[in-house]
Chain A
Amino acid sequence: RSSCLLISMLRRLSSMAARAQCRCHSTPSSSSGGAAGQGGIAGSRKGQMAPASPEVVAKKTPKGKLDNPELFDEDGWPKRRIVNEETGEIGGPQGPEPTRYGDWERKGRCSDF
């Protein structure tokens, strides 16, 4: 009885395996099969999609909310050489001095003391 169950399971699993080949390319490729998987996916699709026009890309690309928008230029790249005028520190934490209360404080949260 258990062997019959096993055989029917095996049949079902092998058909699931055949279907799994097609389902594979909807999941992200695993660390071992990276490049080969990509080639397989591209090869198996029929026809190519036309690249989107720049207006559509600009409209549909989500823009994130930035904590300090003044530190970034309009394309979203960080501005270089942020200087703290009082201390002369370049590239340091923005806003008030984090160690002013004796611990490391950012936004009211302490992360080291």
Chain B
Amino acid sequence: LQMLSAGSRRVALQGVRSLATTNKASAGKTGNIAEYKVVDHAYDAVVVGAGGAGLRAAMGLSEGGLKTAVITKLFPTRSHTVAAQGGINAALGNMNPDNWRWHFYDTVKGSDWLGDQDAIHYMTREAERAVIELENYGMPFSRTAEGKIYQRAFGGQSNDFGRGGQAHRTCCVADRTGHSLLHTLYGASLQYNCNYFVEFFALDLIMDKGVCVGVVAMSLEDGSIHRFRAKNTVLATGGYGRAYFSCTSAHTCTGDGTALIARAGINNSDMEFVQFHPTGIYGAGCLITEGSRGEGGFLVNSKGERFMERYAPVAKDLASRDVVSRSMTLEIMEGRGVGPEKDHIYLQLHHLPAEQLQQRLPGISETAQIFAGVDVTKEPIPVIPTVHYNMGGVPTNYKGQVIQYTSEKGDQVVPGLYAAGECGAHSVHGANRLGANSLLDLVIFGRACAIDILSKDKAGVNVPDLPKGAGEASVANLDKLRHANGDISTADLRLQMQKTMQKHAAVFRRGDVLQEGVKKMNDLYAQQKNLKVSDRGLVWNSDLIETLELQNLFINATQTIVAAENRKESRGAHARDDFPNREDELDYSKSTEGQTKKPFEQHWRKHSIIRSDIETGKVSLDYRPVIDTTLDKSETDWVPPKVRSY
């Protein structure tokens, strides 16, 4: 069949597919990996993922003259960044006098002192330059009457180190900042001849003696394998929201970058920190704003009881988000959830007058009708705590270079490998991410990777050769999955994993619940041997791609739940019922004079360093100290920890 001419190749591949599915005898037999067509490419830099961070890195690299390839499984303007409607924080000072040091303080406090202060220093200092650069590339920010970028108030931002009231720091493009960011960066990168490989799925990193020399990817269009060799690889693949049953992420957010790293034997960091929102619509995953509770709506369980009165007698439904999420989860765990599986809660708004609802929250009736199928003036909205963001990911330094940490040697940079965006943990968000900082993170660290690569490399110089047998293991795995003929389908196994994660590693965490979850996840991980893939073809085989994504999700999910079980304190988004306090090296609720610092093994103000054994699913943990020094003491000194209260 390989003898057929190129002109009829597309038809020939369709012919191959129909032959394979009709020939039952070959189902289950492993094909020959030499059958796959392999194409080799050489570039100066390869970017995996084309969301906000990937496009910013690609644009910076191609603007600097390097031959850049972008491998993405989605068209760039369809990446999940497009859903980011909110804004970007930058201390431009257009609305009131502002200073990036105040933004630095707010971000360090928001991260619950788990963020690396040198990376946060870098991010907040460069924010102004980066946003003005974006504006110069044509991003249509909304303006003040003088023509400067309009900035609005957003939660968590203050003036004067928390003492000066609400800061107006968030720049936005109407209500479509992420969408506009993607279009601006995509257009700008094309004018510098960036090469896009759209609808290519990255299978593995190619490592040569600890140096990253490229990426192996599969083309979705014809199933051919492409090996990209490049001196620099930037990972910008986004988060892994789809490891949970209820998440706001697109179906394509499957943690491919963090899994690529784990398969290459490199560590991930802080995977247990996952940001939840209490009221996400059950099934759809869209979040209902807190304003619905602010305007008088309340949460109701299967008994019709307004249960928040028991958990937070004073604040009731207006308690902080983590309290509300935990209360909802406790109600569900105790059996008072609603619905056929008793696994969610109702948000009741129909007791409010319809005109008031329409005036204060215009559009909520439309949202509830489209996403939940309910008439909000008559029925309650089904809601469940929903995953929104992953603070954990690939550990990097402030330049974006990926770090491998060992306790003997400390931080070791992995040559040739960079990470940016949600898949990286730089770590600027620490234990909790502030609103509107995520888009800033994408832009700054995409830019930082590009700047660092350009400072070291010239175009065309020293593109490495591929090691012998590069990519063979990936193709063997691909082939094994393509012919998988077990008894459980990908969709079923994925749903079981998602429900387990939602039940055991969601917002409510307690030792026994987590340990049970770890056992269940280990069993489900082992079930991957029994997967069944129905489509044996190579052209647009979405069953195969979803199975590869499931492998990636499993790696991320097991790392998350084991790290969550291991961390015995509550910090930021990781809140444990049995260890409700934050364990630092000193007790910061009292004066620190006269206290002795606890040794590193006895406190929890440290990053979790997580490695996976891919065959068995076993996760091993280590710890890395938080970087408390800033980049330049003369610009700003570090923020010493204290009790975090808003």
Contact = CB atoms under 8 A, between A and B. Distances in A.
- Most chain B CB neighbours (cut-off 10 Å) among A6, A100, A103: A103
Contacts of A97: 152
Contact of A110 (B4, B12, B287, B436): B287
Interface in B279-302: 286-292, 294
Nearest to A102: B155
A97 B140 CA distance: 19
A42 B155 CA distance: 58
Interface string B355-366: 000001111111
Contacts of B7: 17
Interface in B256-309: 277, 286-292, 294
Interface in B420-441: 435-436, 438
Contact of A90 (B4, B150, B170, B291): B150
B330 interface: no
B248 to A, nearest CB: 8
Contacts of B83: 111
B170 to A, nearest CB: 7
Contact of A9 (B15, B294, B364): B15
B287 A111 contact: yes
Interface in A73-113: 87-113
B154 A107 contact: no
A109 B154 contact: no
Nearest to A6: B1
A14 B294 contact: no
Interface in B7-38: 7-8, 10-12, 15, 19
A20 interface: yes
B142 A103 contact: no
A90 B365 CA distance: 28
B277 A110 contact: yes
Given A103-B435, A108-B292, A112-B86, A17 B11 contact: yes
Contacts of A92: 142, 150, 172, 174
B8 A17 contact: yes
Contact of B175 (A6, A14, A93): A93
B172 A108 contact: no
Interface string B81-114: 0011111000000000000000000000000000
Nearest to B12: A13
Contacts of A104: 85-87, 154, 175, 435-436
B354 interface: no
- Most chain B CB neighbours (cut-off 10 Å) among A95, A96, A106: A106
Interface in B53-83: 83
A70 to B, nearest CB: 14
A42 to B, nearest CB: 20
A91 B142 contact: yes
A56 B83 CA distance: 38
A99 B11 contact: no
Contacts of A98: 85-86, 152, 175
How many B residues touch the partner, as a band? 35 or more
A100 to B, nearest CB: 7
A108 B361 contact: yes
A10 interface: yes
Given A98-B175, A108-B363, A109-B287, A89 B143 contact: yes
A102 B85 CA distance: 14
Given A109-B289, A112-B85, A99 B154 contact: yes
Contacts of A113: 155, 277, 287, 290, 321, 388, 435
A113 to B, nearest CB: 5
Interface in A1-34: 6, 9-10, 13-14, 16-17, 20
Secondary structure type dominating chain A contacts: loop
Nearest to A14: B8
B4 A106 contact: no
A45 to B, nearest CB: 21
Contact of A91 (B155, B174, B321): B174
Given A90-B150, A98-B175, A101-B294, A107 B364 contact: yes
Interface in A56-82: none
A112 B8 CA distance: 49
Nearest to B284: A109
Contacts of A99: 152-155, 170
A106 B288 CA distance: 10
Contact of A13 (B11, B143, B173, B365): B11
Given A13-B12, A90-B150, A92-B172, A107 B362 contact: yes
B8 A13 contact: yes
Contacts of B438: 112
A88 B368 contact: no
B314 interface: no
B144 interface: yes
B51 to A, nearest CB: 15
A17 B388 CA distance: 49
B145 interface: yes
Given A91-B174, A113-B277, A9 B290 contact: no
Interface string B436-460: 1010000000000000000000000
B15 A16 contact: yes
A90 B614 CA distance: 52
Contacts of A110: 277, 287-290
A108 B364 contact: yes
Contacts of A108: 288-289, 291-292, 361, 363-368
Contacts of B363: 95, 106-109
Given A93-B174, A101-B289, 12 more contacts: A13-B11, A91-B141, A91-B173, A98-B152, A99-B152, A102-B290, A103-B291, A108-B292, A108-B365, A108-B367, A109-B288, A112-B154
14 contacts: A17-B4, A17-B12, A89-B150, A91-B142, A91-B143, A91-B174, A98-B152, A103-B155, A107-B362, A108-B363, A111-B287, A112-B435, A113-B290, A113-B435
Interface of B: 1, 4-5, 7-8, 10-12, 15, 19, 83-87, 140-145, 150, 152-155, 170, 172-175, 248, 277, 286-292, 294, 321, 360-368, 388, 435-436, 438
3 smallest A-B Cβ distances: which pairs? A107-B363, A108-B364, A17-B8
